[in-house]
Amino acid sequence: MLNFSDRLIEAIKKKNSVLVAGIDTTVENIPDYFIKKYYDNEKNEIENLKYILFEYNRRIIDAIEENIVGVKFQAAFFEQYSYYGIEVLHKLIQYAQNKKLIVIFDGKRNDISSSAKGYSNAYIGETALFDKKIKFFDCDAMTVNPYLGEDGIKPFVEDCERFKKGLFVLVKTSNPSSKDFQDLIVDGKYLFEKVAEKVHEWGASCKGKHGYSDIGAVVGATQPQAARIVRSILPNSFLLIPGIGVQGGKIEDLKYFLDKNKMGIIVNSSRDIIYAYKNHIHSDFEKSSFIASKNLKESINSVIN
């Protein structure tokens, strides 16, 4: 089996795209006409929730798959619906996998020792179940929080090495208050620099045939100056870049995130794709999402190619 970084590179080349669609859907943002059409008064609220949430996201994925390299499922938007939402998440992950899309679980998980191992088992590894071992979610990659240090990251890295999976470690995030901690000076460097150095260290043992590490970093699109610094520390790692569009990130700034090969990035867009119908691109939400994802893909390619 190929390393995560190699699978990602092959998918990028096949699709001619570095665009990832963030699946951050809430029921209140699904078009009214869609809910009215599929809400079944013979079923209870939970049954309607599960069907409508799955079906809307499934149709989005179908509409945009030719323009994206993968999907990033934000856990919070499913966990808010309790285990009913987790059930939908699991089905959507399987659906995206069947489409041969790169699947990223975005839960920013972290803990120490056996607790971190439990998170890793669930999303990128395997879980012991009586006399068997089961891969439940089996995502290609997941996001993790480095605040607890190596104790909280090592179990994930070990599973990346064992199962050829990927990690994206929070390094410099797109939100304005990221500076509260990430820009603190420690030993003459920004704290996010120190974290990036650790990411480089953690990823040294799991590299693919193309020379890229399976351990990458999350760097917000609103942070082009920080991106230059991070890229100098992580010349052979992929950067997962959220924050384009609604959050204020500019497509033209993506050039600061590229490596020397004009590669090494994937760009996430969520609301601009899954709720594109709100911008009146087209009366049909699927067509709107297709057009939005196609335009984003082409705009990004015009900057990075």
CB neighbours of residue 6 within 10 Å: 18
Residue ranges making up the domain that contains 142: 4-304
Is pTM beyond 0.95? Reply is: yes
CB neighbours of residue 262 within 10 Å: 10
Task: Indicate which CATH number applies to the domain containing 86.
Answer: 3.20.20.70
The DSSP line for 26-40 is -GGGS-HHHHHHH--
Gap between the Cα atoms of 275 and 286, Å rounded:
10
pLDDT value of residue 282: 78
Counted residue by residue, the chain has a size of: 305
Contact partners, residue 102, CB within 8 Å, separation at least 6 = 7, 8, 11, 20, 69, 70, 71, 140, 141
CB neighbours of residue 59 within 10 Å: 14
pLDDT value of residue 1: 86
Averages of pLDDT over each 10 residues, the chain, 305 residues: 96 98 97 95 96 98 98 98 98 98 97 94 97 97 96 96 98 95 97 98 96 98 97 98 90 97 97 93 90 97 95
Q: How many domains does the chain have?
A: 1
Which phi and psi (to 5°) does residue 102 adopt?
Answer: -70, 130
Q: Which residues form the catalytic set? A: 108
Residue 138 φ/ψ region, left for φ over 0, alpha for ψ in the -120 to 50 degree band, beta for the rest: left
